[in-house]
Structure formats: structure tokens, C-alpha cells
A and B are shown apart, each in its own frame.
Chain A
Amino acid sequence: MATRKTSDTGPAKGSNPAPKGSNIPADELKHYYREMLLIRRFEEKAGQLYGMGLIGGFCHLYIGQEAVVVGLEAAADEGDKRVTSYRDHGHMLACGMDPKGVMAELTGRDGGYSKGKGGSMHMFSKEKHFYGGHGIVGAQVPIGAGLAFADKYNGTDRVTFTYFGDGAANQGQVYETYNMAQLWDLPVVFVIENNQYAMGTSVQRSTKSPSLWERGAAYGIKGEEVDGMDVLAVKEAGERAVAHCREGKGPYILEIKTYRYRGHSMSDPAKYRSREEVQKMREERDPIEQIRQVLLSGQHATEEDLKAIDKEIKEIVNESAEFSKESPEPALDELWTDIYAKEAPQEA
């Protein structure tokens, strides 16, 4: 049933005798570095714009968790779907959505993915098969299974990545969904992004069965725990999960151990953990630093190559910020549009 537990002991250090990732093409490694860096810089910019009052309401940053979505997107194929919670900026960037459209949604502008009507927590892209961006903890889990239900119904072999956090893992609808997903062999990968804190409540304070992936065993669902600070480990686990689903064997659970550096939202005073804990994670386990070391130690890239990527990312993020400021606010009559459809948007 439950199969595998990958190691989460210690980071891959550049000093390892056989450098990690040495069998992976340089371009692929650089791609991971670039994608993760894009998310980090984008989120840092979003934090900055929030501080300037350009972004309002709730804003949940993904900094620290970048390896999760970047690793899993590397395991996805065209047509695979994804759905997640309100901490969704990283997922959108990783599946190829335009940073300008995402940032402009954060600032509530017409150029945003939802024309400014969704905000940070509610964004969608039919083109990229990104089904939100859901603000209610756990509600995206049955929705993800429903997307997989549609794929199975239509006879495709596409897979839906359904992301949720350790907090959502205590919601009843998650287990209702596990039951039906396994009952009907739905091709859905349940991705538990365990960043160890549900808002301010640590996993230890919310459950006596802290191994969240093992709960799937009660429904007969296979799963594993993954080092979420290691993009390569995430990708490999993602490939196993996807293969399981594509072969029609039903759902698969990945509990990805990760860590968010920032607060739950912008207004989080972070009294529930120590500064040292965060600092230690950043210094020893940072996913971007890890892949950077792989690139450099394996001589896949030079410092100059990486600097060029840094520069490119900085430009993309700055452009997105500029766009998000320049894009006009939605016209007032947008208040009254998109409440009812005349034709089904999915079929149009």
C-alpha cells in the first residue's frame, strides 16, 4: 500500500562526492533554477507592492516552497490540470501563466487574469489548465478530483495535480474526496504541501498523526513523503505519481515537506515560531541555493550564467510590477459582468 519514504535528511551540498543532478542536462537544471527564482523574486516584489498599498486584502506568499511546484510541473505534460489554494502565485507562474497578468490581478487591475475581480486568491487560466486559486481551505480538493473525473469520463489520460496544505489536510472534504477518488480510480495527484504551519498552528499542535500522507492508506491510496526543498526529489516523486495515475491505477498522494519563510499572510506577526528556526531553514535547506550548488559544482553553469538568469528574472518581475501599476482599474460596468454566462465558458 504505502510505499516509499524518501530521505529528508540534510541538503544536497556542493561538496558531495558524486554531485547530485550530474546526470541531468544542464538546460534542465538551469530551467529549475530560473523557474524557482522567478517565483521568489516575483513574491518579493509582491510583498513590496503590498507594503506600498498597491496590493490589498490577503496576500499569501510562496517564498521557500518554490521547489514543490517547479518540481511537479517538470513531471506534468501538456493538458494536465492543476488546482490549488489561496497560496497560488507560485503555481500560476510555474505552469506558464504570464507574470504581468498575475501581478496585475494582485493590484486589482483590468490587465489581471480575472480583470481585477478575483484578486490574489482567485485566479484562473483555462489556457494553462489552471483551475484556481480557491480561498476556502480544502474546497479545491474535491474540485481537483472532479477535474480528474471529467478526464476519466472523457477517456483521456490526463492527470490533475490537486494541491493543499497541512492545514487543509484536516478538513473532512479531503477524506470524502479520498474515498471517492480511490473508489472511482480518478487520475488525481493529491499534493500535500506540508509547510508545517496552518496559519499559526504547527502540525504537532493540530494532529497526533503527523504523517499526513499515511492517512491515504485508510482508503487504499498509495503515497509517499518527499523532500520539498529538493526540486529534483520532487520531480522524481512527481513522475512516479503521474505514472501511477496515467496507468489508470487511481489517485496518489505526495506529502511534500516544505517550509514557508514568510508569514501565513502579510499581516502575520509570526509569534508561533522562532526567527532562528526560519533562519536555519533558509541557510541550510533553501531550494534555490541547493540547485545553484548543483549547477556550479557539477559545472553545468558558471557564476556568469547564473547572473545572467538573475538579471533576466529581475527584468521580468520589474516589468510585471510596472504593468500592474500602469494597467487601469477595471471599468465600473465590470461590476455587473460575468455573473451569469450566456454560453458555457468551458465549451465556448
Chain B
Amino acid sequence: MATEILMPALSPTMEEGTLARWLVKEGDTVSSGDILAEIETDKATMEFEAVDEGTVGKILIEEGSEGVKVNTPIAVLLEEGEDASAIDSAGDNSGDEAKTEVKEETKAEEKDTVPSDTPAASSPAAAAPKPPRTPDWPEGTETKTTTVREALRDAMAEEMRREDNVFLMGEEVGEYQGAYKISQGLLDEFGPKRVVDTPITEHGFAGIAVGAAFGGLRPIVEFMTFNFALQAMDQIINSAAKTLYMSGGQMGAPMVFRGPNGAAARVGAQHSQDFAAWFMQIPGLKVVMPYSAADAKGLMKSAIRDPNPVIFLENEILYGRSFEVPVMDDFTIPLGKAKIAREGTDVTIVSFGIGMTYALEAAEKLAQDGIEAEVIDLRTIRPMDTDAIIESVKKTNRCVTVEEGWPQGSVGGYISNVLMQEAFDHLDAPVINCTGKDVPMPYAANLEKHALVTTDEVVEAVRKVTYK
């Protein structure tokens, strides 16, 4: 029977890719291990090998095709003795399903993009008086669709051009162009002195970076993921965060620790965890966790300029998402300022980072039932813009928080505490914290899905606090 060759997932979070080049043509005989094609993901170009033996019956996706979803049939392989007539039957099985899936996914992505970057444009709540908050960029500024990945790279490159003492160090940041391609092109532009590949030695290089910051440089330390930052925790907390205080203000560690944080996909407990609440506890650290590309760029530039150690929590799943970023010579967003991502009157949903995906999706769903949620993107977790939350809750009288992290000692728990003390009389319902489940992240796909916070849980929480 003819078998379909499907577009492979070449990384845990890959959803689509470019079929860059076919290395076989129709009629070629292949055996397992032969390279069939080159596939470009947002991280790298990779070779795709045959698993089965046979003859390439038909190529379904031409080379150069972009945005080919994972599991889309890209070719049909004929077994010995089969001819081209077998192709059609193979194509029927899953081809249509795959196509349908493609459409849905595209829609979902559009949803992510629209509400956060054209604030309130289509929301009925736009009629309500706007709070006196300055927009992130002047009205009428040209914008460009940019991925979070590119935005982070652009931010670092701009700051490295601006100040000679800014440098990037970490595992695979240079010659490999970044394990997640965040530092792509930086080695070429800035050279190995300023884009420093390190051995796999987090504790050591985090400490060296702290020392370099004491010595007047502005290090950007990339942790391949924040899971590995645990190896360096002592240097981050005991050395970087506390020295300014312990030295009576004489010296500190102006630097950025950055990298992906939170659940990736199907990588199990040691590689899937959100540390926002951990770092949030430490006086002396600033903690940033952006959602959109514009925020990633503007906040990264501010973080690099900040005279304090900044923990910059990125997200692997968000890296490939596109948002509008203003085209400006020097676009920055101040640390410690939340954004109203969507205006509303019935409930305040507070989130940050990838949690915003669920918050915004929930808000859209709720709007269909006439519940208008105001969605606040904290952007910076420490210092936290609690004024923005309180101001919103005074209007909506209800609050739901959304985060991927664990429930005990969560960011949402802290927000509940602040609201209870500072806006108690304005609350018409207890605050509900939507969090990740109180378990290590499981590997199995169905369990992993359950362990994460979901849009439905956010919707349910809002219904509870609004009694609807």
C-alpha cells in the first residue's frame, strides 16, 4: 500500500515549516536513511530522512512552500510493485483532514494577534472612557509584522550598537546562532568578543557575568532555558540581586538574565516550568515576562539599559508568533508598566507572558455571551504595576488571574493579596487564580494538556466571579 510521507515535527514546539528543497524527484527509489528533503523551521534548516523503502510516487508539496503544517502529507511513497494508481487512495485518507486543520490553526493565530496589538479596536468597551494611560507608541506610527524571536534579536542588536559594553554570553549563542535562534546574526555583526559562546556551565558563566557587571560591563546572559538557571541560582540571587544593598549602594550588577521559561511542549517535568513566581520574590531583581513582540522588544531594550539585574522570561511557544512592532529608531517600554490589552467592564483578567493567550481567548469567548472582560497584561512582574490592577478592579469589581505556574505561592496569589488589602470594598466576588496544576509536568500528551491552564478554565472562573 502506498504510504504518505508527512511533514515532520522537527522540534517540540514546531507547528509548521518551509519545505525548502526536495533532494529526490518522482520516480526515484529511496531506502531508509536517504535524505528526502530539507525542511526549514523557524530555528534551523534540517534534513529529513526516509524511514521506509520505496519509490517516490508523487510529490504533493512543491519545494519552496512556506507554512506547511506538521503532519501534512508532502509526498507519496510507493511500495515495490505499486504504480501511480495507488496514489489517489493514499491521498484521500488524511489529506482533507490535514487541510481543514490548517485553516483552523491559521484562524487561531489571527486571534492571538489581533486583540493585543490593536487594543480595543473592535471591542464594544471601546466606548467607555479610556484610562489615562499613555500608549506604547505614538498614534499613526508605522508598524511591521515581526515574530517575538526577531523582536528580541533586534532589541539586543540595537542595544549592542548603542553601547560597546553590552555583550551576550551563553551556550550556543554564537556559532550555532542560538539554540532557539534568538541570537541569529549577532556573531556576524558583533564578533566573538561580544557574542561569547560558553561551555555548558551555568553556575560558572552566570558568576563570571556577575563579575563582569561588577567590572562595568553590561552582560546579557542567555540560559538555553530557565530550567538550567537553577544551576546558577546562587549567583543570580546571592550575588547579582543583593550586592547593591550589601555594598550600601556602591556597586551592583546591571545585567540581564534571559531565556525561554515555562512549558514548552512534550518535554516533561524538568524542562517545563514557569519560574515567574520564584524570581518575583527577590528584592533586588526585576522580573519581566512579555507576551507580544512589541513588548518583547521594548522591554528588552529597557532591561539592557536598566542599572539592576533583570530576569527576562521568554517563552518558546511564543517565539514564532507574529505581532505588530512599531518602526521607530529607539522603541522602548518602561519596566513596571502594565498594559490594558483589552478594555472591558465586567471583570478584570490579569495575566502575563503566554498566559495572555488564554486570557485573550477567554475574553473573546465571553464577549460572545455578553461578558466584557478587561484584560491586563502585567508585562513586568516585579516591580508590579498593581495600580493598574486596582484601578481596573474598581471599575469591574471582579478579578481572575491567569498564569502557567503552580498555584502555591503564585503570582496570582500575590495579586489576590494586594486586592484584598487595597481594594477589598470594591470586590464583589473572591478573586480566582487560574494556574497550572499542582503537579510536575507529565510527558503524555493528554496529561500535559490537563496540567496546563486552559482557556475554558479561565472562562469558567469568570462565570463564577460574575455569577453568570
- A residues apposed to B, CB below 8 Å: 81, 83, 112-118, 122-126, 131-136, 139, 141-151, 153-154, 172-173, 176-177, 179-180, 183-184, 337-347
- Beyond contacts A141-B207, A147-B214, A339-B284: 19 other A-B pairs, Cβ-Cβ < 8 A, are A114-B250, A118-B246, A124-B243, A124-B246, A131-B214, A142-B210, A143-B211, A145-B211, A146-B211, A147-B211, A147-B212, A149-B215, A149-B217, A150-B214, A177-B208, A180-B198, A180-B205, A337-B249, A345-B252
Partner of B207, one of A150, A177, A346: A177
> Judging by beta carbons under 8 Å apart, are B214 and A134 in contact?
no
> Judging by beta carbons under 8 Å apart, are A126 and B251 in contact?
yes
Within 8 A of A (CB), among B185-202: 193, 196, 198-199, 201
Question: CA of A47 to CA of B218 in the docked complex: distance in angstroms?
Answer: 40
Q: Does B213 contact A (CB under 8 A)?
A: yes
Q: Does B204 contact A (CB under 8 A)?
A: yes
Contact with A along B199-237 (1 / 0, CB 8 A): 101011111111111111110000000000000001100
Instruction: Please judge, given known A-B contacts A114-B246, A154-B216, whether A339 and B283 are in contact too, CB under 8 Å.
Output: yes
26 contacts between A and B (CB under 8 A): A112-B248, A124-B246, A124-B248, A124-B251, A126-B250, A131-B214, A132-B247, A133-B246, A142-B208, A142-B211, A143-B239, A145-B211, A146-B208, A146-B213, A146-B214, A148-B211, A153-B165, A176-B199, A176-B204, A176-B205, A337-B249, A338-B244, A338-B245, A339-B284, A345-B251, A347-B216
Question: CA of A148 to CA of B214 in the docked complex: distance in angstroms?
Answer: 10
Tier of interface size on chain B: 35 or more
Question: CA of A145 to CA of B210 in the docked complex: distance in angstroms?
Answer: 10
Nearest CB of A to B382, in Å: 10
Question: CA of A83 to CA of B251 in the docked complex: distance in angstroms?
Answer: 13
Instruction: Please judge, given known A-B contacts A153-B217, A180-B205, whether A142 and B247 are in contact too, CB under 8 Å.
Output: no
Nearest CB of B to A128, in Å: 11
Complex: chain B residue closest to A153, CB-CB = B217
For B235, what are the chain A residues with a Cβ–Cβ distance below 8 Å? 139, 142-143
Complex: chain A residue closest to B286, CB-CB = A340
> Judging by beta carbons under 8 Å apart, are A143 and B214 in contact?
yes
> Judging by beta carbons under 8 Å apart, are B204 and A179 in contact?
yes
Nearest CB of A to B165, in Å: 8
Complex: chain B residue closest to A183, CB-CB = B199
Complex: chain B residue closest to A143, CB-CB = B211
Nearest CB of B to A164, in Å: 12
> Judging by beta carbons under 8 Å apart, are B208 and A180 in contact?
yes
Nearest CB of B to A121, in Å: 9
Instruction: Please judge, given known A-B contacts A124-B251, A347-B216, whether A341 and B244 are in contact too, CB under 8 Å.
Output: yes
Complex: chain A residue closest to B383, CB-CB = A340
Partner of A180, one of B204, B218, B251: B204
Partner of B215, one of A124, A146, A339, A343: A146
Complex: chain A residue closest to B194, CB-CB = A153
